């Protein structure tokens, strides 16, 4: 098979370590950076690859390359010199910087294209449907866009529960999406020029005009290494009090308050069960107060952030993963829980709603907080009363992770999109 020359735009692209990301690199978000790194690795299995990323990734990238990763992949770095470091610490200013960073990336891409004559360009990160790719819009070669999310919004029934800051953030998010969809000509050109548009959830898919739906494909923004999938022999029936687990940054839109309320209702009938919440964040104190107010402090444990391998060990010692996030685009921890053989209870919203089907989990319609609490409590009760059902869901969950979300399998699927894009005529 001929190895094509592929140019990749990956603003966030950094190898993970056992303790997460080092120093300032972590503010970009592990999910975006891991996505960029692993998809570059997969594309490099079959093609010659050049990657444009920001200079802040250079130390981690070069360390990994020196250890034998990414053989044959060429990295090129660009940034605006002298910009305030504080821009990277706030979501709005970071995305503002990123928009203008793409000007630098496009100018570098144009110089590289004159030298190497690429066969195609692929924009991977940042992965928001409402933010254009200047390389995709203006470089005159076939273009693949995504995978991306960003279309997910907080279900309306939950907005009254948000603090004022959360309501303002949700409003800002909606305005940004509207501006991107309606006013950015470069985004319109991206949609027109793209040979394939990859999205990670239905909420994002429906945001694209009908005339482009034919080239939109579902593709997750998260995956897992085959070595991180639990052995099939480790999935077996369990007895005793249920160990329920959740994890994530403790922020309002992750909706951990409703999961605590649901567990409190469930634990009245199953007092031997325990609920572990792994994570830290600004909502931590409020959640601790809620646990105390509900009188379940002896059944709910808060655990600070754990290294990845320790978190997976805790997952494999649990029975159910409870994840009530409201607008998660991807939901990497859902995939990790599935790979650990856990049935997942989640809201039927955005990324988790896309990942989970009835064969390996239970989804609750996100109508309003009261409905979600009741639904999650009933789902926990169903799994507690029926160990055979729990075992079937556990096995199916692990199997789904192995068959669909292992990075090498995602790379095989991605190659199918490349084959189609590269076989079409020039744009």
Give me the pLDDT at residue 185, please.
87
Residues 86 and 212 in one domain: yes
**Is pLDDT above 50 for 418?**
yes
Residues 77 and 206 in one domain: yes
Structurally, the chain folds into a number of domains equal to 2
- Residue 139 — very low, low, confident or very high, per pLDDT cuts 50/70/90? very high
Give me the pLDDT at residue 233, please.
79
pLDDT, one tens digit per residue, over 328-375 is 888 889 999 999 999 999 999 888 888 999 899 999 999 999 999 999
Give the CATH number for residue 352.
Answer: 3.40.50.2000
Residues 237 and 319 in one domain: yes
Residues 373 and 326 in one domain: yes
Give me the pLDDT at residue 341, please.
93
State which residues form the domain around 27: 5-223+406-423
Residue 204 CA, chain-centre distance (Å), reads 13
**Pairs from 351-357 (Cβ < 8 Å, separation ≥ 24):** 351/149, 351/152, 351/200, 351/201, 351/220, 351/221, 351/222, 352/323, 352/325, 352/328, 353/201, 353/202, 354/200, 354/201, 354/202, 354/218, 354/220, 355/220, 355/331, 357/400
17 versus 395: which is more confidently predicted? 395
Residues 19 and 151 in one domain: yes
**Mean per-residue pLDDT for 198-218?**
93
Residues 139 and 124 in one domain: yes
**162 within 8 A of 140, measured Cβ to Cβ:** no
Give me the pLDDT at residue 84, please.
65
**Mean per-residue pLDDT for 194-220?**
93
**Mean per-residue pLDDT for 213-225?**
93
- Averaged pLDDT of the chain: 89
Give me the pLDDT at residue 2, please.
76
**Is pLDDT above 50 for 21?**
no
Secondary structure (3-state) at 362? strand
Residues 358 and 292 in one domain: yes
Residues 113 and 211 in one domain: yes
Question: Which secondary-structure segment (H or E) carries 189?
Answer: helix 185-193
393 versus 327: which is more confidently predicted? 393
Give me the pLDDT at residue 368, please.
93
Residues 300 and 419 in one domain: no
pLDDT, one tens digit per residue, over 282-322 is 999 999 999 999 999 999 999 999 888 899 999 999 999 99
- Of 218, 244, 199, 269, nearest to 346 by C-alpha is 244
CA distance linking residue 114 with residue 209, whole number of Å: 33
Do the bridges between strand 243-247 and strand 216-218 make them parallel or antiparallel, or are there none, so unpaired? unpaired
**Is pLDDT above 90 for 10?**
yes
**Is pLDDT above 50 for 27?**
no
Residues 240 and 378 in one domain: yes
Give me the pLDDT at residue 120, please.
96
* Packing angle of the helix pair 284-294, 256-269 (nearest 10 deg): 20
Residues 280 and 290 in one domain: yes
Residues 215 and 230 in one domain: no
**Is pLDDT above 90 for 161?**
no
Give me the pLDDT at residue 158, please.
87
179 versus 370: which is more confidently predicted? 370
**Mean per-residue pLDDT for 72-100?**
79
């Amino acid at each position: 098979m001929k190895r094509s020359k592929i140019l990749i735009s990956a603003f966030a692209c950094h190898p993970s370590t056992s303790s997460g990301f080092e120093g300032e690199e972590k503010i970009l978000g592990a999910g975006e950076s891991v996505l960029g790194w692993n998809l570059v690795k997969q594309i490099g299995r079959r093609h010659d690859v050049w990657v444009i990323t920001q200079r802040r990734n250079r130390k981690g990238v070069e360390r990994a390359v020196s250890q034998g990763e990414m053989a044959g992949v060429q990295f090129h770095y660009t940034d605006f010199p002298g910009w305030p470091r504080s821009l990277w610490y706030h979501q709005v200013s970071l995305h503002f910087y990123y928009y203008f960073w793409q000007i630098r990336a496009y100018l570098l891409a144009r110089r590289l294209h004159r030298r190497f004559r690429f066969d195609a360009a692929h924009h991977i990160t940042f992965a928001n449907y409402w933010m254009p790719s200047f390389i995709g819009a203006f470089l005159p070669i076939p273009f693949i866009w995504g995978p991306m999310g960003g279309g997910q919004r907080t279900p309306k029934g939950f907005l009254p529960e948000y603090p004022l800051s959360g309501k303002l953030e949700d409003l800002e998010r909606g305005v940004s999406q509207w501006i991107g969809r309606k006013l950015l000509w470069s985004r319109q050109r991206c949609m027109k020029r793209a040979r394939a548009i990859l999205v990670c959830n239905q909420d994002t898919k429906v945001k694209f005009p009908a005339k482009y739906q034919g080239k939109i494909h579902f593709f997750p923004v998260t995956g897992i290494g085959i070595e991180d999938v639990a052995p099939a022999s480790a999935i077996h029936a369990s007895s005793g009090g249920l160990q329920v687990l959740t994890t994530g940054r403790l922020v309002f839109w992750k909706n951990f308050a409703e999961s605590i309320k649901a567990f409190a209702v469930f634990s009245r009938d199953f007092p031997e069960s325990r609920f572990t919440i792994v994570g830290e964040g600004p909502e931590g104190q409020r959640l601790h107060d809620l646990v105390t107010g509900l009188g379940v402090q002896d059944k709910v444990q808060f655990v600070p952030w754990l290294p990845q391998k320790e978190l997976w060990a805790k997952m494999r010692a649990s029975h159910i993963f409870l994840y009530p996030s409201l607008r998660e685009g991807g939901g990497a921890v859902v995939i990790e829980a599935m790979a650990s053989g856990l049935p997942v209870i989640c809201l039927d919203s955005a990324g988790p709603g896309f990942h989970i089907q009835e064969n390996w989990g239970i989804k609750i319609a996100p109508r309003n907080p009261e409905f979600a609490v009741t639904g999650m409590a009933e789902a926990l009760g169903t799994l507690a009363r029926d160990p055979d059902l729990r075992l079937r869901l556990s096995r199916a969950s692990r199997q789904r992770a192995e068959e669909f979300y292992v990075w090498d399998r995602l790379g095989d699927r991605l190659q199918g999109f490349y084959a189609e894009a590269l076989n079409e005529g020039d744009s």
